[in-house]
Structure 1
Amino acid sequence: MSIRKDDIAGIGSQFAINGIFVEGEEVQSGHINTTYLATYRNEDGETRRYIFQRINENVFSQPLVVMKNIERVTNHINRKVFRKKRDFGGQTLNLYPGKDGRNCIVGVFGGIWRCYNYIEGCRTYDVVENTRQAYQAAKAFGAFQDLVSDLPIEKVEVTIPGFHDTPRRYARLIAAMKSDACDRVKDVQKEIDFITSRESIVGVLVDHLAAGRLIERVTHNDTKLNNVMIDEQTDEAVCVIDLDTVMPGLALYDFGDLIRGATSPVAEDEPDTSKVEMRLPMFEAIVEGYLETAASFLTPLEIDLLPFSAKLISLETGIRFLTDYLEGDKYFRIHRDNHNLDRCKTQLALVKSIEDQEDKMLNFVKKWHRA
C-alpha cells in the first residue's frame, strides 16, 4: 500500500513528535513491512527525521504482542546503555509513543503503525563489503544478545510460533510439494532433491533443545547485515534495528542467520548462483566479533555448533523461500517473476559452499575458543 504525502503527515500527527511535518517518502527496503521516512522541523528550525512503519498483519498475527516485546526490549537496552555506556556511537533505537501514550497507533489507514527515531549518519548494507563491517555487525549482534541476557525470558512473548523450528518448516515444504497449488513443482525438482537429501540435519538443534543441552534466550531472530546501522564515516556498528521477531529462541539461530546474510558477496536474490560463496575471511571476522561480546554467556556446545548453525539456517531459509514460491508467493514481498525461487537457489548454493568449507570453519572456531 503506497500512500500520499498528506497521508504520511496524517500518520505523523498521531504520534508525540515535536515539530511541523516537512516531507515524507516511502523507503523501498525489507520484505515484510511498509516503511516511510518523514522529516519534521521544530520551532528552532532544526530538522529531525522519523521512521513510520505499518506492521504487516498477514505476517504478524499478534501485532500488539510484537509491539509489547519491542517496547520491553528497547526500554531494557536503553536503560542499560544509559547506565553502562555500552552503545555503539551513542545512538539506540527508540519508540515514539502515540499521543495517547501507547506504543503504536491503531486504525489509521486500516493498519497498525509505529514510530522510531531515524539513526542519522548511518546506512545499512545488503552485502558485506569488508571484514571490518562483518566484524562490527557480529559484535553488535553479540552485544545485543548480551544486553538482553538478563531480561527474563518470560517477559518476552513468542510472536511467531515455530519460527526457527526447522523440522516444521521442512514439513510445510513437503505439504506444499504434495498440494502443488500453483503447478510449480515440476520446475523445481533440482531444488527439492537438494533439500530432501539433507533431511537428516533439520532436527539437530531442536533435538538439542528438547534434551536440555541448549537453552532458550531472548534473541533477535533476524540478524541480517541490513538490520545493523553502520556509521558512514567509521564503518562501526551503531545500532541493531528491526526488532519484530525478538522473542525466545536459540543464540545459534542469530549467529547462523548472520553468517547466511553476511558471508556471500552477492544479495540473497542474486539470479547467478555461480557468484554465491561463503567467504571464509568474512566468517572468521564474524566469529571474532560475535564471540568478543557473546562468549561470556555462551556454553561450550553453543560455540562448537556455530559453523553448523550457519549451514542449518541457510538451508531453512532456502526451504522457506521455496515453500512460499510453491504456495504462490504469499509471504515474502516479490518484485519480479520467480523472485522467491531465485532467493531459494541462492540459499542452497550457500549451503553447498558452507559444506565445502565446514572443516575449516570448525577448526577456526576451535582455535579461537582455545585461545
Structure 2
Amino acid sequence: MTDQLPLPPGYLALARDMACHFPVCEQVLEVQPLGAGLINSTFAVAAHSGHFVLQRINSAVFADPPLIMDNIARLQSAAAGAGPTAPRLPRLFQAESAALYTRDQDGGYWRLLERVEDAITLPAVTDSTQAAAIGRLLGQFHGFGASLPMADFHVTLPGSHDTPRFRAALDAALSEVARQTSDGHDASASGDAEVSALIKQVRARDHVLGCLRDALAGGSIRKTLIHGDPKRDNVLFDRQGREALCLIDLDTVQPGLILHDIGDCLRSCCNRAGERGAPEQVHFDAGLAEALLGGYAQAAPGLLGAAELELLFDAMRLIPLELGMRFLIDHLRGDRYFRVRYRGENLRKAKAQLALVADIERQERHLRQLARSLG
C-alpha cells in the first residue's frame, strides 16, 4: 500500500498553475505530490529557479488561512531578528499580489515555501541519538516561543487539544449513529463490536480528560507559543538522519500548552509500531522517551516548572487518548476530517492510539520517575 493519497482529477494541473502565481517559481518544470499529510495538500515543485514546496491550506480545518500566514510571518520575522539562537524556519515566498498566498477559482488558499535542501523525514525514530535531536529541536522552539509576546499571535485552531470537547463530540457521533440506525440507515460499519470496545476504553479514562485544562484554569501552568503538531513527520533531518534541522508545518503555531506539544511529540516518536502499525504491535519505548526529554531539557533548561513535570505523565497518555477519540469520531461520521485510503483506516488508527495509551499506563511508575528527574 502506498503512503500517497489519491488526488482528485485535474489536481496536479491546478497545482502547477498555482505555482506559476509565485514570481520566484520561474519556469515550472514538474509538480508532484509530496508526503502523506492528512490535512493539507502538498506538492514538490521543480522549477528553473530551484525546488519548492507548494501547499493548499485545508480551509475546512483552518477557517481563516490569512491568520495562519500572519502567524508564520510574525514568527519568521522574530527569528530573523534573533540570530543563531532562533530555530530554523522554512522561508515563505510572496505571490504576484505581494501577499504570502494566492487563491484559486474555488477560493482555496495556496502558499509556496522553501524546500530545505538535503533534508529528509524519518520513517521511524530508531535510536536515542535521533530522539535526543528531536527533543533539542522542540526545546529550542519552545524556548524561543516563550520569549515572544503571545498577544501578537492569533489562535488559528480554536478548541485544539480541548480533550473534554472531543469527548463530547464522541458522544454526539454515537448518538447520530444511533439515530441513523433507528431510521433504517445502514450503520453497521460504525456500530460494530470493535467500536463498542474502544468506547469502553475511552470511558474508563474519563477522569483523565480535563487534567491539563483544570491545571491551566487553576493557574499552576500557563500558555505560551507552541508548534501545535510536533510529530515525527514534521521534523526535518539531515541526509544521515542524525541532526534535526527544523520543524515544518507551522499552521498550528498559536498560544497553547507546551505539555500538549511534548505529549504529542512523545506519542509520535516513541511508538515503535508507528501510527499505521497493528494495534498488537504498539509499544511506547521509554528509552526513546528518556532521550527525547533529555534533549529537550538540555535545549530549554528550566522551561518546565514543577507543575509541568508533575503533569508530564498525564500529557503522555492524554494526547494519544485524544487522537484516538478523534480518529474514532471521524470513523463514526464517515471519514469527513482525516483523509483516508480505505474505509476502516480511522478505526484501525483509533485502536492503535488506545493501545498506546494502555502501554504508557503500564509503565506509569517509571515514566513518572523520568518526568520528575528532569527537575
TM-score w.r.t. the length of structure 2 is: 0.91
Instruction: Tell me how far apart the structure 1 counterparts of residues 76 and 335 of structure 2 sit (CA, whole Å).
Output: 32
**Any conservation in 2 of the 1:257–1:313 contact (CA below 8 Å)?**
yes
**Where in structure 2 are the equivalents of 1:193-204 lying within 5 Å?**
193-204=200-211
Partner of 2:299: 293
Superposed displacement of residue 53, structure 1: 0.2
Asked whether the equivalents of residues 263 and 280 of structure 1 are also in contact (C-alpha less than 8 Å), the reply is yes
Contact 2:40 2:58 in 1 (8 A): yes
Does the Cα contact within 8 Å between 1:33 and 1:55 map onto a contact in 2? yes
In the other structure, the counterpart of 1:56 is 58
Q: CA deviation at 1:351?
A: 0.3
Q: Do the aligned partners of 1:158 and 1:248 also contact (CA within 8 Å) in 2? A: yes
293-302 or 178-187, which deviates more: 178-187
Q: How does 1:1-371 map to 2 (within 5 A)?
A: 1=8, 3=10, 6-17=13-24, 19-42=26-49, 48-80=50-82, 83-87=83-87, 92-108=89-105, 110-180=107-177, 181=180, 182-183=187-188, 184-187=190-193, 188-233=195-240, 235-270=242-277, 272-369=278-375
Q: Secondary structure at the match of 2:140?
A: helix
CA contact (8 A) 2:130 2:241 kept: no
Give how far 1:113 is off.
0.1
Per-residue CA distance 1:98-139 (angstroms, 9 max, x = gap): 122111112356411001000111111242122211111121
**3-state SS of the aligned residue for 2:22?**
coil
Cα distance, 1:312–1:228 mapped onto 2, change above 3 Å: same
Residues of 1 paired with 2:86 and 2:161: CA distance? 29
281-290 or 18-27: which moved more? Answer: 18-27
Displacement of 1:228? 0.6
Decide whether the 8 Å contact of 1:127 with 1:261 is kept in 2.
Answer: no
The Cα offsets for residues 298-317 of structure 1, whole Å up to 9 and x where unpaired, read as: 22211222222010111111
Partner SS for 2:42: strand
- How far apart are the structure 1 equivalents of 2:273 and 2:225? 30
**Distance in 1 between the 2:123 and 2:344 partners?**
20
- When structure 1 is superposed on structure 2, of 220-229 and 10-19 the one drifting more is 10-19
CA distance in 1 between partners of 2:63 and 2:209 (Å)? 26
* 244-253 or 289-298: bigger deviation: 289-298
- What TM-score results when the alignment is normalised by the length of structure 1? 0.92
When the two structures are aligned, how many residues end up with a matched partner? 358
For 1:56, give the aligned amino acid: N
The CA RMSD measured in Å over matched residues stands at 1.7
Mapped to 2, the partners of 1:54 and 1:15 lie a distance apart of 14
Q: Which residue of 2 aligns with 1:45?
A: none
**Structure 2 CA distance, aligned partners of 1:62 and 1:284?**
38
Instruction: Output the CA distance in 2 between the equivalents of 1:148 and 1:59.
Output: 24
Helix, strand or coil for the counterpart of 1:248? strand
Matched-pair contact (CA < 8 Å) for 2:211–2:314? no
Contact 1:138 1:289 in 2 (8 A): yes
Cα distance between partner residues in 2 of 1:49 and 1:329: 33
Distance 2:345 2:80 in 1: 38
CA gap 1:234/1:58 in 2 versus in 1, 3 angstroms: closer
Structure 1 pair 170/295, CA: closer, same or farther in 2 (3 Å)?
farther
CA distance in 2, matches of 1:61, 1:5: 24
Aligned-residue sequence identity (percent) comes to 32
